[in-house]
Amino acid sequence: MAPSSAEADSAVSSSGRLLVLYASQTGNAMDAAERVGREAERGGCPAVDVLSMDSFDPSRLPSERFVVFVVSTTGQGDPPDSMKGFWRYMLRKDLDRQWLEGIHHAVFGLGDSGYQKYNFAAKKLDRRLLHLGAEPVLEIGLGDDQHPSGYEGALDPWLLSMWKSLNEINPSLLPRVSDINDPNLSFLGDPKVHVIYYSSNEVTQDPILLDSNKIISSARSMSPALRFHADGEPPYMLQMVKKQCLTKEGTDRDVRHFELEDPSSAMAINYKIGDALEILPSQNPSAVDAFIERCNLDPDCYITIRVRSGDKVFKGSVEQMDRIKLRTFVALTMDVVSASPRRYFFEVMSFFATSEREKERLQYFASPEGRDDLYQYNQKESRTVLEVLEDFPSVQMPFEWLVQLTPPLKKRAFSISSSPLAHPNQIHLTVSVVAWVTPFKRTRRGLCSTWLAGLNPNKGNLIPCWIHQGSLPPPRPLVPLVLIGPGTGCAPFRAFVEERAAQAAAEPTAPVLFFFGCRNQENDFLYKDFWLTHAQDEGVLSSKRGGGFFVAFSRDQPQKVYVQHKIMEQSSRVWNLLLSDAVIYIAGSSTKMPADVTAALEEVICKEGGVKQADASKWLRDLERAGRLNIETWS
Question: Per the annotation, where are the binding residues?
Answer: 24-29, 72-75, 145, 412-415, 446-449, 488, 554-555, 560-564, 596, 634
Task: Say how many residues make up the chain.
Answer: 635
Helical spans, DSSP H, in 367-456 = 371-377, 385-391, 399-405, 447-454
CB-CB neighbours of 582 under 10 Å = 22
Q: Report the C-alpha gap between 599 and 564 in whole angstroms.
A: 8
Q: List, in sequence order, every beta strand (DSSP E) within 91-160.
A: 104-111, 135-136, 141-144
Show binding-site residues for FMN. Answer: 24-29, 72-75, 145
Strand partners, 304: 196
Please return the burial class of 40, using the count of CB atoms within 10 Å of its CB with bins 0-12, 13-18 and 19+.
buried
Please return the burial class of 270, using the count of CB atoms within 10 Å of its CB with bins 0-12, 13-18 and 19+.
exposed
180 in Cβ contact with 39 (< 8 Å): yes
Strand partners, 104: 66, 135
Q: List, in sequence order, every beta strand (DSSP E) within 43-123.
A: 48-52, 66-72, 104-111
546: left (phi over 0), alpha (psi -120 to 50) or beta: left
Q: Which residues contact 626 (CB under 8 A, 6 or more apart)?
A: none
Q: Which residues contact 446 (CB under 8 A, 6 or more apart)?
A: 338, 433, 434, 435
Q: Report the C-alpha gap between 497 and 503 in whole angstroms.
A: 10
Give the chain's largest Cα–Cα span.
79
Show binding-site residues for NADP(+). Answer: 488, 554-555, 560-564, 596
State how far the alpha carbon of 10 is from the alpha carbons of 58, 114, 259, 307, 514, in Å: 13, 40, 49, 17, 53
Helix, strand or coil for residue 97?
coil
The radius of gyration of the chain from alpha carbons, rounded to an integer in Å, stands at 26
Residue 261's φ and ψ, nearest 5 degrees, are: -145, 165
Show binding-site residues for FAD. Answer: 412-415, 446-449, 634
Q: Report the C-alpha gap between 330 and 289 in whole angstroms.
A: 9
State how far the alpha carbon of 386 is from the alpha carbons of 288, 291, 321, 383, 440, in Å: 9, 6, 28, 8, 18
User: Considering only CA atoms, which of 312, 299, 332 is closest in space to residue 193?
Assistant: 312
Q: Which residues contact 183 (CB under 8 A, 6 or more apart)?
A: 367
Q: Report the C-alpha gap between 557 and 464 in whole angstroms.
A: 44
Please return the burial class of 338, using the count of CB atoms within 10 Å of its CB with bins 0-12, 13-18 and 19+.
buried
CA 612 from chain center: how many Å?
37
Q: Report the C-alpha gap between 60 and 8 in whole angstroms.
A: 14
Read off the amino acid at residue 226.
Answer: L
State how far the alpha carbon of 211 is from the alpha carbons of 142, 215, 238, 305, in Å: 45, 6, 15, 20
